[in-house]
Amino acid sequence: MQTLIPHLWYDKEALEAARFYTSVFPESQLDWTYHLSDTPSGDAQLVQFRLVNMTLAAISAGPYFHLNESMSLMVQVSKKEEVDRLYQSLSQNGKVFMPLGEYPFNAYYVWFEDQYGLSWQLLYNSEQTVSHHLEICLLFSKDQVGSAEDFLQKYVSLLPGAELGQRSYYAQGEASLPQAKLNYGELVLPNQKLIVMDHGYGGENGFNEAFSLMIYVNSPEEMAAYYDAFSSVKEAEQCGWVKDEFDISWQIVPQKLMEAYGNPAQADRLKAVNAAILEMKRLDYQRIVDLL
Protein backbone atom coordinates (compact mmCIF):
# COMPACT_ATOMS: atom_id res chain seq x y z
CA MET A 1 0.00 0.00 0.00
CA GLN A 2 1.20 3.52 -0.74
CA THR A 3 2.61 5.50 2.19
CA LEU A 4 1.01 8.86 1.37
CA ILE A 5 -2.63 9.25 0.38
CA PRO A 6 -3.54 12.53 -1.36
CA HIS A 7 -6.56 14.12 0.31
CA LEU A 8 -8.52 16.70 -1.69
CA TRP A 9 -10.89 19.25 -0.12
CA TYR A 10 -13.87 20.47 -2.14
CA ASP A 11 -16.86 22.66 -1.38
CA LYS A 12 -19.55 20.23 -2.61
CA GLU A 13 -17.90 18.48 -5.54
CA ALA A 14 -15.87 15.61 -4.05
CA LEU A 15 -18.07 12.78 -5.35
CA GLU A 16 -18.64 14.50 -8.69
CA ALA A 17 -14.90 15.01 -9.15
CA ALA A 18 -14.08 11.43 -8.14
CA ARG A 19 -16.62 10.06 -10.61
CA PHE A 20 -15.18 12.26 -13.33
CA TYR A 21 -11.58 11.24 -12.69
CA THR A 22 -12.42 7.53 -12.55
CA SER A 23 -14.25 7.86 -15.87
CA VAL A 24 -11.17 9.37 -17.52
CA PHE A 25 -8.46 6.99 -16.31
CA PRO A 26 -8.38 3.25 -17.06
CA GLU A 27 -8.15 0.72 -14.24
CA SER A 28 -9.81 3.16 -11.85
CA GLN A 29 -12.75 2.91 -9.50
CA LEU A 30 -14.79 4.57 -6.77
CA ASP A 31 -14.11 2.59 -3.57
CA TRP A 32 -16.64 4.06 -1.15
CA THR A 33 -18.49 7.16 0.04
CA TYR A 34 -19.53 8.09 3.56
CA HIS A 35 -21.87 10.83 4.79
CA LEU A 36 -20.51 12.66 7.83
CA SER A 37 -23.11 14.59 9.85
CA ASP A 38 -22.88 17.50 12.28
CA THR A 39 -19.31 18.63 11.60
CA PRO A 40 -18.24 22.24 12.37
CA SER A 41 -18.76 23.02 8.67
CA GLY A 42 -22.08 21.16 8.47
CA ASP A 43 -22.64 17.83 6.78
CA ALA A 44 -19.70 16.47 4.81
CA GLN A 45 -19.14 13.65 2.35
CA LEU A 46 -16.04 11.47 2.39
CA VAL A 47 -14.92 9.68 -0.76
CA GLN A 48 -12.16 7.20 -1.50
CA PHE A 49 -11.23 6.30 -5.07
CA ARG A 50 -8.40 4.80 -7.08
CA LEU A 51 -6.73 6.12 -10.24
CA VAL A 52 -4.51 3.44 -11.80
CA ASN A 53 -1.74 2.98 -9.20
CA MET A 54 -2.86 5.66 -6.73
CA THR A 55 -5.47 5.67 -3.96
CA LEU A 56 -6.94 9.11 -3.20
CA ALA A 57 -9.37 10.50 -0.65
CA ALA A 58 -11.62 13.53 -0.96
CA ILE A 59 -14.11 15.45 1.14
CA SER A 60 -16.95 17.86 0.45
CA ALA A 61 -16.84 20.12 3.49
CA GLY A 62 -17.54 23.70 2.44
CA PRO A 63 -15.77 26.55 0.63
CA TYR A 64 -13.02 27.08 3.19
CA PHE A 65 -9.96 25.94 1.23
CA HIS A 66 -9.18 25.97 -2.47
CA LEU A 67 -6.91 23.74 -4.51
CA ASN A 68 -4.07 25.43 -6.37
CA GLU A 69 -0.99 24.66 -8.45
CA SER A 70 1.39 24.23 -5.49
CA MET A 71 0.34 20.57 -5.28
CA SER A 72 -0.43 18.57 -8.38
CA LEU A 73 -0.73 15.05 -9.71
CA MET A 74 2.04 14.14 -12.13
CA VAL A 75 1.06 11.49 -14.68
CA GLN A 76 3.66 9.74 -16.82
CA VAL A 77 2.12 8.23 -19.95
CA SER A 78 3.68 5.75 -22.37
CA LYS A 79 1.96 7.03 -25.56
CA LYS A 80 1.69 10.57 -26.94
CA GLU A 81 -1.87 10.02 -28.14
CA GLU A 82 -2.86 9.11 -24.59
CA VAL A 83 -1.32 12.36 -23.34
CA ASP A 84 -3.57 14.10 -25.88
CA ARG A 85 -6.67 12.20 -24.72
CA LEU A 86 -6.07 12.86 -21.03
CA TYR A 87 -5.35 16.52 -21.68
CA GLN A 88 -8.49 17.00 -23.75
CA SER A 89 -10.64 15.23 -21.15
CA LEU A 90 -9.21 16.75 -17.98
CA SER A 91 -8.60 20.32 -19.13
CA GLN A 92 -12.16 21.21 -20.11
CA ASN A 93 -13.16 24.48 -18.39
CA GLY A 94 -9.75 24.58 -16.73
CA LYS A 95 -6.67 26.80 -16.92
CA VAL A 96 -3.33 26.10 -18.63
CA PHE A 97 -0.05 26.97 -16.89
CA MET A 98 2.36 25.51 -19.47
CA PRO A 99 0.89 24.57 -22.89
CA LEU A 100 1.28 21.14 -24.41
CA GLY A 101 4.57 20.86 -26.26
CA GLU A 102 8.26 20.04 -26.15
CA TYR A 103 10.40 21.30 -23.26
CA PRO A 104 14.06 20.79 -22.31
CA PHE A 105 13.02 18.34 -19.59
CA ASN A 106 10.39 16.39 -21.56
CA ALA A 107 9.46 15.83 -25.20
CA TYR A 108 5.69 16.13 -24.66
CA TYR A 109 4.48 17.90 -21.52
CA VAL A 110 1.58 20.01 -20.27
CA TRP A 111 0.66 21.55 -16.91
CA PHE A 112 -2.89 22.71 -16.24
CA GLU A 113 -5.69 23.03 -13.72
CA ASP A 114 -8.99 21.21 -14.23
CA GLN A 115 -12.54 22.46 -13.68
CA TYR A 116 -12.42 21.40 -10.02
CA GLY A 117 -9.17 23.25 -9.29
CA LEU A 118 -6.87 20.21 -9.21
CA SER A 119 -3.56 20.68 -11.04
CA TRP A 120 -2.17 18.05 -13.39
CA GLN A 121 1.19 17.54 -15.07
CA LEU A 122 1.15 15.10 -17.99
CA LEU A 123 4.46 13.77 -19.35
CA TYR A 124 5.28 11.43 -22.20
CA ASN A 125 7.64 8.61 -21.19
CA SER A 126 8.36 6.19 -24.03
CA GLU A 127 10.49 3.97 -21.78
CA GLN A 128 7.73 3.37 -19.24
CA THR A 129 6.57 -0.25 -19.04
CA VAL A 130 3.04 0.64 -17.84
CA SER A 131 0.56 2.84 -19.69
CA HIS A 132 0.02 5.33 -16.83
CA HIS A 133 1.77 6.12 -13.57
CA LEU A 134 0.67 8.80 -11.07
CA GLU A 135 2.74 10.60 -8.44
CA ILE A 136 2.23 13.56 -6.11
CA CYS A 137 4.21 16.72 -6.90
CA LEU A 138 4.94 19.52 -4.41
CA LEU A 139 5.97 22.95 -5.75
CA PHE A 140 7.57 25.05 -3.02
CA SER A 141 6.33 28.58 -3.70
CA LYS A 142 6.19 32.05 -2.14
CA ASP A 143 7.86 32.04 1.31
CA GLN A 144 8.75 28.34 0.93
CA VAL A 145 10.91 28.77 -2.20
CA GLY A 146 14.25 27.18 -1.38
CA SER A 147 12.78 24.67 1.08
CA ALA A 148 12.39 21.67 -1.22
CA GLU A 149 15.81 20.24 -0.36
CA ASP A 150 15.17 20.73 3.37
CA PHE A 151 11.86 18.89 2.99
CA LEU A 152 13.63 15.92 1.41
CA GLN A 153 16.28 15.79 4.11
CA LYS A 154 13.68 15.88 6.88
CA TYR A 155 11.24 13.31 5.57
CA VAL A 156 13.76 10.80 4.24
CA SER A 157 14.54 10.08 7.89
CA LEU A 158 10.90 10.05 9.07
CA LEU A 159 8.95 8.03 6.50
CA PRO A 160 9.40 4.23 6.56
CA GLY A 161 11.59 2.90 3.78
CA ALA A 162 12.23 6.37 2.34
CA GLU A 163 15.27 7.04 0.17
CA LEU A 164 16.50 10.04 -1.78
CA GLY A 165 16.04 9.59 -5.51
CA GLN A 166 17.02 11.68 -8.49
CA ARG A 167 17.84 15.34 -7.82
CA SER A 168 18.77 18.21 -10.14
CA TYR A 169 19.38 21.88 -9.45
CA TYR A 170 18.81 25.21 -11.16
CA ALA A 171 21.82 26.45 -13.12
CA GLN A 172 23.05 29.95 -12.34
CA GLY A 173 20.55 32.46 -13.70
CA GLU A 174 18.01 29.78 -14.65
CA ALA A 175 15.60 30.79 -11.86
CA SER A 176 14.59 34.39 -11.24
CA LEU A 177 14.80 33.91 -7.46
CA PRO A 178 18.26 33.19 -6.03
CA GLN A 179 16.80 31.08 -3.20
CA ALA A 180 15.31 28.60 -5.72
CA LYS A 181 17.70 25.65 -5.70
CA LEU A 182 16.07 22.32 -6.49
CA ASN A 183 14.34 22.11 -9.87
CA TYR A 184 13.51 18.41 -9.45
CA GLY A 185 13.82 15.99 -6.56
CA GLU A 186 12.42 12.61 -5.58
CA LEU A 187 11.58 11.10 -2.22
CA VAL A 188 11.36 7.40 -3.04
CA LEU A 189 8.90 5.51 -0.83
CA PRO A 190 7.64 1.92 -0.95
CA ASN A 191 5.28 1.75 -3.95
CA GLN A 192 5.43 5.48 -4.77
CA LYS A 193 7.57 8.57 -5.27
CA LEU A 194 6.98 12.08 -3.99
CA ILE A 195 8.22 14.72 -6.45
CA VAL A 196 9.38 18.09 -5.06
CA MET A 197 10.77 21.27 -6.60
CA ASP A 198 11.36 24.94 -5.85
CA HIS A 199 9.35 27.44 -7.89
CA GLY A 200 11.91 29.34 -9.96
CA TYR A 201 9.71 32.44 -10.17
CA GLY A 202 8.17 32.48 -6.72
CA GLY A 203 4.61 31.59 -7.61
CA GLU A 204 1.32 33.12 -6.51
CA ASN A 205 -0.09 30.34 -4.34
CA GLY A 206 1.36 28.28 -1.52
CA PHE A 207 0.38 25.07 0.21
CA ASN A 208 -2.94 24.93 2.07
CA GLU A 209 -5.37 22.45 3.58
CA ALA A 210 -7.20 21.82 0.29
CA PHE A 211 -4.50 19.32 -0.69
CA SER A 212 -3.20 17.41 2.33
CA LEU A 213 -1.27 14.19 2.74
CA MET A 214 -2.73 11.32 4.76
CA ILE A 215 -0.73 8.67 6.58
CA TYR A 216 -2.43 5.55 7.96
CA VAL A 217 -1.10 4.19 11.25
CA ASN A 218 -1.63 0.96 13.18
CA SER A 219 -0.64 1.74 16.77
CA PRO A 220 -0.78 4.57 19.34
CA GLU A 221 3.01 4.72 19.37
CA GLU A 222 3.22 5.12 15.60
CA MET A 223 0.60 7.86 15.69
CA ALA A 224 2.35 9.78 18.49
CA ALA A 225 5.70 9.58 16.71
CA TYR A 226 4.27 11.10 13.54
CA TYR A 227 2.47 13.86 15.42
CA ASP A 228 5.59 14.82 17.34
CA ALA A 229 7.80 14.82 14.23
CA PHE A 230 5.42 16.53 11.81
CA SER A 231 3.52 19.17 13.79
CA SER A 232 5.05 22.64 13.83
CA VAL A 233 1.89 24.78 14.13
CA LYS A 234 0.12 23.97 17.39
CA GLU A 235 -3.05 25.89 16.53
CA ALA A 236 -3.43 23.84 13.31
CA GLU A 237 -3.88 20.60 15.27
CA GLN A 238 -7.52 19.61 14.89
CA CYS A 239 -9.28 16.27 14.30
CA GLY A 240 -6.01 14.57 13.39
CA TRP A 241 -4.73 17.35 11.12
CA VAL A 242 -1.29 18.88 11.65
CA LYS A 243 0.83 21.40 9.73
CA ASP A 244 4.60 21.20 9.37
CA GLU A 245 7.22 23.97 9.04
CA PHE A 246 6.78 23.93 5.25
CA ASP A 247 3.05 24.82 5.55
CA ILE A 248 2.10 21.33 4.35
CA SER A 249 -0.98 19.83 5.99
CA TRP A 250 -0.91 16.20 7.08
CA GLN A 251 -3.58 13.88 8.45
CA ILE A 252 -2.46 11.08 10.75
CA VAL A 253 -5.29 8.54 10.78
CA PRO A 254 -5.83 5.00 12.11
CA GLN A 255 -6.02 2.61 9.18
CA LYS A 256 -8.87 0.80 10.93
CA LEU A 257 -10.90 4.02 10.90
CA MET A 258 -10.57 4.44 7.13
CA GLU A 259 -11.48 0.80 6.62
CA ALA A 260 -14.57 1.31 8.79
CA TYR A 261 -15.76 4.22 6.63
CA GLY A 262 -15.86 1.81 3.71
CA ASN A 263 -17.82 -0.83 5.66
CA PRO A 264 -21.60 -0.24 5.88
CA ALA A 265 -21.80 -2.65 8.83
CA GLN A 266 -19.83 -0.12 10.91
CA ALA A 267 -22.30 2.75 10.35
CA ASP A 268 -23.78 2.78 13.87
CA ARG A 269 -20.42 2.58 15.62
CA LEU A 270 -19.01 5.32 13.42
CA LYS A 271 -21.54 7.80 14.79
CA ALA A 272 -19.90 7.58 18.21
CA VAL A 273 -16.42 7.63 16.66
CA ASN A 274 -17.16 10.75 14.63
CA ALA A 275 -18.58 12.57 17.65
CA ALA A 276 -15.45 11.73 19.63
CA ILE A 277 -13.10 12.82 16.84
CA LEU A 278 -14.73 16.25 16.66
CA GLU A 279 -13.59 16.83 20.26
CA MET A 280 -9.99 15.80 19.57
CA LYS A 281 -6.99 17.74 18.34
CA ARG A 282 -4.49 14.91 17.97
CA LEU A 283 -6.49 11.74 17.50
CA ASP A 284 -6.65 9.28 20.38
CA TYR A 285 -5.82 6.05 18.56
CA GLN A 286 -6.86 3.66 21.31
CA ARG A 287 -10.18 5.37 22.00
CA ILE A 288 -11.10 5.33 18.32
CA VAL A 289 -10.21 1.65 17.92
CA ASP A 290 -12.10 0.75 21.09
CA LEU A 291 -15.22 2.54 19.81
CA LEU A 292 -15.00 0.62 16.55
User: Which pTM does this prediction carry?
Assistant: 0.96
Residue 190 counted as domain residue? yes
Q: How far apart are the C-alpha atoms of 196 and 281, rounded to whole Å?
A: 29
Residue 27 counted as domain residue? no
Residue 117 counted as domain residue? yes
Please give the tally of structural domains in the chain: 1
182-189/192-198 β-pairing: antiparallel
Residue ranges, the chain, pLDDT below 50: none
Residue 52 counted as domain residue? no
Q: How far apart are the C-alpha atoms of 186 and 40, rounded to whole Å?
A: 37
Which pLDDT score is estimated for 38? 74
Amino acid at 291: L
Q: Please name which of 196, 184, 182 lies closest in space to residue 146, comparing C-alpha atoms.
A: 182
Q: What CATH number has the domain bearing residue 88?
A: 3.10.180.10
The boundaries of the domain holding residue 192 are: 71-198
Residue 248 counted as domain residue? no
Which pLDDT tens digit goes with each residue over 59-116?
A: 999 999 999 999 999 999 999 999 999 999 999 999 999 999 999 999 999 999 999 9
* Cα-based angle 25, 211, 18 (whole degrees, multiple of 5): 30
Count CA atoms closer than 13 A to 123's CA, side-chain side.
17
Q: Please name which of 43, 18, 53 lies closest in space to residue 33, comparing C-alpha atoms.
A: 18
Task: Give strand ranges (E) for the chain.
Answer: 5-10, 28-39, 42-51, 54-60, 71-77, 95-103, 106-113, 119-124, 132-140, 163-169, 182-189, 192-198, 211-217, 241-243, 249-254
Which pLDDT score is estimated for 110? 99
Residue 244 counted as domain residue? no
